[in-house]
Amino acid sequence: MALRVVKAAPFDPNDDSCLRVDAPLVVRWLVEFLRQECVRRRGVTRAVLGLSGGVDSAVVAYLCARAFGPENTHAFRMPYKISSSESLEHAQLVIDDLGLQARTIDITPMVDGYLSNFEPDASPARVGNVCARSRMIVLFDQAAKLGALPIGTGNKSERLFGYYTWHADDSPPINPIGDLFKTQVWQIARELGVPSVIVDKPASADLIQGQTDEGDFGIRYRDADRILHHLTQGYSPAKLKQMGFDPGQVDLVFAKVESTHWKRRLPTTAMLSKSAIGEFYLRPVDY
């Protein structure tokens, strides 16, 4: 009897199946992760987070509400004078839907106390960094006041692109969505019931009117995430181009990842012994 040879379907670089997740399972896992890391390991039952009005922080708010209860989830809106009113309104949708403990703290006086008096000609990028670090000051101080832990809201796509302020957005000790690409965050958001107006709007750092993440990147999240997925699976840029990915997009994504490795590491320590913390010496939990 002759064997029938079945040819594999040609690889489709536009296929999003590699990014699909079992959303209900991921939600249960992330809720348990928050309880494990905060309650069982650290003995902390309250969470604080910055609620920007975007999908990432909204997803984290919904996860925290499930993990700790809305009465123990403290959301802070921290607008700067150029922040859009829409961002505040969208954050309020989440607060109202979940019944979170919420507070609005305008960071304009603390930011302008530095910029207006000492650096009036700061570029938009520098202004954004000062805002991000000011927000972390507020979150960590409020966490100390409330006996809570700050929870991070950065997704994997942003982290791989280095699209965040060092020692600001990445400062919280717990991050439930840091291993989810942006396209996967959208899937989880729909599973959690995040308002569609938040899920469907263009992602933006809300620093300049009309600014969007994808405009800054020069590539759509969906295209970038497919490339990022295969890069993190060990495929080389040359191999991805052979597989049919757009060469220009591959080069763009690879360059961003390669140039921002330093942002994804702890500060480099000059090693003088075999017990340099974070270099050689690791507690059992660190393995």
pLDDT of residue 226: 97
pLDDT of residue 272: 79
pLDDT of residue 269: 76
pLDDT of residue 286: 43
pLDDT of residue 266: 78
pTM score, whole prediction: 0.91
Q: Are 30 and 187 in contact (CB under 8 A)?
A: no
Of 88-102, 194-208, 218-232, the one with minimum mean pLDDT is 194-208
Q: Average pLDDT, stretch 224-234?
A: 95
pLDDT higher than threshold 50 for residue 125: yes
pLDDT of residue 264: 86
Architecture of domain 20-207: 3-Layer(aba) Sandwich (3.40)
pLDDT higher than threshold 80 for residue 2: no
pLDDT higher than threshold 80 for residue 193: yes
217 or 137: which leads in pLDDT: 137
pLDDT in tens, 155-186: 999 999 999 999 999 999 999 999 999 999 99
pLDDT of residue 47: 98
**Confidence label for 199 from pLDDT (cuts 50, 70 and 90):** very high
Torsion angles phi and psi, residue 77, rounded to 5: -90, 125
Q: Are 155 and 180 in contact (CB under 8 A)?
A: yes
pLDDT in tens, 15-34: 999 999 999 999 999 999 99
Structural domain spans, the chain: 20-207, 218-265
Of 8-12, 156-160, 201-205, the one with minimum mean pLDDT is 8-12
Mapping DSSP onto H, E and C, the string for the chain reads CCCCCCCCCCCCCCCCHHHCCCHHHHHHHHHHHHHHHHHHCCCCCCEEEECCCCHHHHHHHHHHHHHHCHHHEEEEECCCCCCCHHHHHHHHHHHHHHCCEEEECCCHHHHHHHHHHHCCCCCHHHHHHHHHHHHHHHHHHHHHHHCCEEECCCCHHHHHHCCCCCCCCCCCCECCCCCCCHHHHHHHHHHHCCCHHHHCCCCCCCCCCCCCHHHHHCCCHHHHHHHHHHHHCCCCHHHHHHCCCCHHHHHHHHHHHHCCHHHHCCCCCCCCCCCCECCCECCHHHC
pLDDT higher than threshold 70 for residue 287: no
Q: Average pLDDT, stretch 2-16?
A: 75
Q: Average pLDDT, stretch 4-22?
A: 83
pLDDT of residue 285: 47
pLDDT of residue 52: 95
pLDDT in tens, 73-90: 999 999 999 998 999 999
Nearest to 57 by CA among 108, 112, 102, 109: 102
pLDDT higher than threshold 70 for residue 68: yes
Could you tell me what percent of the chain has a pLDDT over 90? 79
Residues 124, 240: Cα–Cα separation, whole Å: 35
Q: Average pLDDT, stretch 150-158?
A: 96
Angle in degrees, 0-180, between the axes of helices 108-118 and 124-146, rounded to the nearest 10: 140
